[in-house]
A = this chain, B = another copy of it.
């Protein structure tokens, strides 16, 4: 019998243009993911702290300004909010959920 708790959880969004892999960390649940070039909007249920792992992510929080984040830079999104992302090419990130 397969042990599903022992496999990495894989999620796919936006017809496969954004995909993520889940992990448990000392800082709680997290995902690492990749986004292809494109424009995306995500909703949050918890606070999300996102660090760019590779590439560039242009981010706009609600009522915020567009801000560019590059490798190792991070931003925080409030719970029960939305944010827009524009990627001009592939980007990778890690997201921690609080």
Contacts and interface: CB of A to CB of B under 8 A. Distances in A.
Main secondary structure of the interface of A (DSSP, over half): strand
A36 B6 contact: yes
Contact of A7 (B10, B32, B36, B55): B36
Given A23-B90, A25-B90, A36 B54 contact: no
The contact size tier of chain A is 20 to 34
Interface in A11-39: 12, 15-26, 30, 32-37
Closest 7 CB pairs of A and B: A7-B16, A23-B90, A8-B19, A21-B34, A32-B92, A8-B34, A23-B34
Interface of A: 2, 6-8, 10, 12, 15-26, 30, 32-37, 53-55, 89-92, 94
